[in-house]
Amino acid sequence: AQKITQTQPGMFVQEKEAVTLDCTYDTSDPSYGLFWYKQPSSGEMIFLIYQGSYDQQNATEGRYSLNFQKARKSANLVISASQLGDSAMYFCAMSGVYNFNKFYFGSGTKLNVKP
Amino acid sequence: GAGVSQSPRYKVAKRGQDVALRCDPISGHVSLFWYQQALGQGPEFLTYFQNEAQLDKSGLPSDRFFAERPEGSVSTLKIQRTQQEDSAVYLCASSFDRTGSGATYNEQFFGPGTRLTVL
């Protein structure tokens, strides 16, 4: 069975600084995908970044990067140059790598960016 | 808009009432997922459709929960005889068919959710 663990219920970061949100996972599947989603107070889940288990390089998307350490089964999200609009819930999720797969989500981290 | 839409956005039901939650996926999206998100938790999978076929309903918590997608587009999640533990946000997500594209992942596009409160 797949399991995602996010151990930081809440995080504070100063505007313009970088922040790392932790995510560890457990799976017996040889191939899998890891996702990060942002959920603002409006409730909609916004896709941020993806990392495949066989990807050789860490994924990056603008100010978001994923620190993927396969041996440690961790997939931490790094947000550089934090902005006030980054304040939201952040969820780590895992799925299989096939075309259609349900997601397994962690419990989330509430990020607050201070001016 | 072009995103996933859900209605109603908010629903208050008395215990024992039946409710129906609607999801309009992005046009052309083959897959449709329903998730339940309890307060302060991450979403949990309920059920999955590929076109009109319900391929996975392993996450439905009881036989009071029923989902359908009769024409392969709009989907309805129905909860019969609602109970207080059913109070949650119900999220719908859709994704398109990447078969043959060489893509190794398939992101899901989420709607804004329906917040159900059972009194």
CB proximity list for B103: less than 8 A, separation 6 or greater: none
pLDDT value at position A86?
97
pLDDT value at position B102?
61
| Residue reference for tokens 């918590």 | B61
pLDDT value at position B11?
98
CB B77 within 8 A of CB B90: yes
pLDDT (mean) for B47-57 = 93
pLDDT value at position A31?
84
pLDDT (mean) for B5-22 = 97
pLDDT value at position A2?
83
User: What would the two tokens of residue A52 be?
Assistant: 């495949």
pLDDT value at position B101?
62
pLDDT (mean) for B68-93 = 97
Could you say which residues of chain A have pLDDT below 50?
99
pLDDT value at position A24?
97
pLDDT value at position B103?
62
User: Quick one: closest CA in A to B50, which residue?
Assistant: A100
Q: Where are the beta strands (DSSP E) in chain A?
A: 3-5, 10-14, 19-21, 24-26, 33-39, 46-52, 60-61, 64-69, 74-79, 88-95, 104-105, 109-114
pLDDT value at position A100?
58
What torsion do the CA atoms of A97, B51, B95, A92 make, to the nearest 10 degrees? -60
pLDDT value at position A71?
93
Residue numbers in A near B48 (CB within 8 A) = 100, 102
pLDDT value at position B48?
93
Q: How close does chain B come to A82, measured CA to CA in Å?
A: 23
pLDDT (mean) for B64-70 = 97
φ and ψ of B87, to 5 deg: -60, 125
Residue numbers in A near B34 (CB within 8 A) = none
Mutate to test the interface with B, among A39, A45, A56 (most CBs of B within 10 A): A45
Instruction: Answer whether B104 sits within 8 Å of A33, measured CB to CB.
Output: yes
Listed residue (B90, B87, B86, B88) closest to B22, CA to CA: B90
What number of other Cβ atoms are within 10 A of residue B56's Cβ? Answer: 17
Reported as a pLDDT band with limits 50, 70 and 90, residue B107 is confident
Listed residue (A68, A73, A79) closest to A24, CA to CA: A73
φ and ψ of B116, to 5 deg: -100, 125
Listed residue (B94, B107, B84, B95) closest to B38, CA to CA: B84
Reported as a pLDDT band with limits 50, 70 and 90, residue B1 is low
Q: How many interchain CB pairs under 8 A, A with B?
A: 73
Instruction: Answer whether B31 sits within 8 Å of A100, measured CB to CB.
Output: yes
CB A11 within 8 A of CB A112: yes
